[in-house]
């Protein structure tokens, strides 16, 4: 355990894919003098993780990482998802089945290192779960109704019951003139897309049959629940940092870092 009480025996893996329809060469996009994937790795290196590794699909990403002292490994370029890439990385790194891996997306240059620690701790504390993740209370009705904001509902142990793009839980008595006029209480939860995995489960995840719900919602984490596995959820008190999906997002993050 670290001095902060966070287990140090976990690895951060950052999947990085060069192809992006909305932002070409996204991992290499310059943010205040550093490639974005390096920015992400620097944030992850400030967590309590034993090591931080970028799992890349292109030699240019590996070279950019190595030029800035970030460990990177080459993975296949034909993976269908980031989870498949991470599964290969676990094998390449020789991780034991019970080791904890935290998946940090390669487009999260503002991710809080404390959130990475909290997700690792959540899985460390929950031997009944194979995955951990995070959530944050929603305080904006527009976010609650936005299908691009993924929501999650929990049981009393903070285990995920369901994830959805729909506004859940639905407030039956909150309708005014046919529309929801306010947020339910307690406040609904926004899913934050950082995951902890036990390496053994991550290796077998790509071979699991995709869930019908996963296809309907376009949410890969529903495959975990559909197969009867459990996901522990850390409740964060601070909102997540802004991710980068579009050129507009990139400019916003550049401004934030130049001002701060």
How would you write the pLDDT of the chain (260 residues) with one tens digit per residue? 444 456 668 999 999 998 777 788 999 999 989 999 999 999 999 999 999 999 999 999 999 999 999 999 999 988 888 899 999 999 999 999 999 999 999 999 999 999 999 999 999 999 999 999 999 999 999 999 999 999 999 999 999 999 999 999 999 888 887 788 899 999 999 999 999 999 999 999 999 999 999 999 999 999 999 999 999 999 999 887 778 888 888 998 888 887 76
The predicted structure's pLDDT at residue 3: 41
- Report the distance separating Cα 212 and Cα 88, nearest Å: 25
Contact 81, 72 (CB under 8 A): no
Strands (E) in the chain, as ranges, are 10-16, 30-31, 34-35, 51-56, 71-74, 100-103, 131-137, 151-154, 160-164, 175-176, 179-180, 189-198, 231-236
Cα torsion 122, 124, 126, 129: sign: positive
Coil vs helix vs strand at 134: strand
Between the two ends of the chain, the Cα-to-Cα distance in Å is: 32
Domain 10-259: which topology?
Spore Coat Polysaccharide Biosynthesis Protein SpsA; Chain A (3.90.550)
Tokens at 159, concatenated = 């285990």
- Report the distance separating Cα 146 and Cα 150, nearest Å: 8
- Strands 151-154, 175-176: pairing kind: unpaired
The predicted structure's pLDDT at residue 260: 60
- Report the distance separating Cα 206 and Cα 191, nearest Å: 22
Contact 20, 106 (CB under 8 A): no
> Full-prediction pTM beyond 0.95?
no
The predicted structure's pLDDT at residue 168: 96
The predicted structure's pLDDT at residue 20: 73
């Amino acid at each position: 355990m670290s001095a902060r009480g966070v287990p140090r025996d976990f690895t951060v893996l950052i999947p990085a894919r060069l192809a992006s329809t909305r932002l070409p060469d996204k991992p290499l996009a310059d943010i205040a003098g550093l490639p974005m994937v390096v920015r992400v790795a620097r944030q992850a290196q400030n967590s309590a993780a034993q090591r931080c590794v970028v799992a890349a699909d292109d030699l240019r990403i590996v070279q950019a990482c190595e030029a800035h002292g970030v460990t990177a490994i080459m993975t296949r370029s034909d993976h269908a998802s980031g989870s498949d890439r991470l599964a290969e990385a676990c094998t390449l790194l020789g991780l034991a089945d019970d080791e904890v891996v935290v998946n940090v997306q390669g487009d999260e240059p503002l991710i809080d290192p404390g959130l990475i620690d909290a997700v690792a701790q959540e899985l460390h504390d929950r031997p009944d779960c194979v995955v951990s993740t995070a959530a944050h209370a929603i305080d904006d009705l527009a976010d609650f109704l936005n299908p691009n904001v993924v929501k999650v509902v929990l049981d009393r142990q903070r285990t995920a019951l369901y994830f959805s793009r729909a506004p859940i839980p639905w407030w039956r008595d909150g309708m005014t003139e046919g529309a929801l006029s306010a947020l339910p209480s307690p406040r609904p939860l926004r899913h934050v897309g950082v995951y902890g995995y036990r390496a053994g489960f991550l290796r077998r995840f790509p071979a699991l049959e995709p869930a019908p719900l996963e296809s309907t919602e376009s949410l890969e984490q529903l495959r975990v629940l559909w197969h009867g596995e459990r996901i522990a959820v850390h409740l964060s008190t601070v909102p997540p940092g802004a991710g980068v999906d579009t050129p507009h997002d990139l400019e916003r993050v550049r401004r934030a870092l130049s001002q701060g």
